Amino acid sequence: MNSLLPNGIQAQAPADGNADPIPQLNDIILPEQLYSYSLAPGWFLVALAVIAIAVIVLLVWQKQQFKNRFKKLALKELNNWHTANKNAAISADVLRHLNELLKRYVITVSGRKKVANLYGNQWQHFLMENGGVEESFAHMLAHDQYRNNAQFNQPLGDLVSQCQRFINTYNPELSDQSTQEGIVNA
């Protein structure tokens, strides 16, 4: 007896009606696998661009971490000093210490040639222009550290907060122009 398969092909029954048709089947021959993984040259460029961007981002991040390391150390030293001297009044010794801390920080992040020779009006101008220190505090840091018997009305906390503001806002790249202008104008 012939039967009709679902795809429309007629299957013939074996000559003897009891024979099993399965052993008569041939093995399935699979086609060769096609490799569609070959990348176009554009993908290599995209991969190269992604790697280059990742390297640049890593280098910029590392440079930023390196620069912020000194900022964190200076702020930590300032906070530790302020905690130890919270009840102290502003004196010439206090001004010398804070001025030394600010100068060490600026020399560390900018280089000695840029600021080591600044003092008096030049240092005052530098503090105001590059770190946002108010004029009265900048004058105090630049000039009053040499006056041993001076009386100061401002609280120590305000002076410390001005020093913190300077450390947080000082940017060596932006200070190049203002340092040169300050030397010329002073």
Predicted confidence (pLDDT) per residue in 88-116, tens digit: 888 888 888 888 898 888 888 888 887 87
pLDDT for residue 31: 83
CA distance 138 to 112: 20
CB 92 within 8 A of CB 141: no
Predicted confidence (pLDDT) per residue in 6-25, tens digit: 555 555 555 566 677 777 78
Find the range with the poorest average confidence among 46-55, 89-98, 103-112, 167-176.
167-176
CA distance 118 to 121: 8
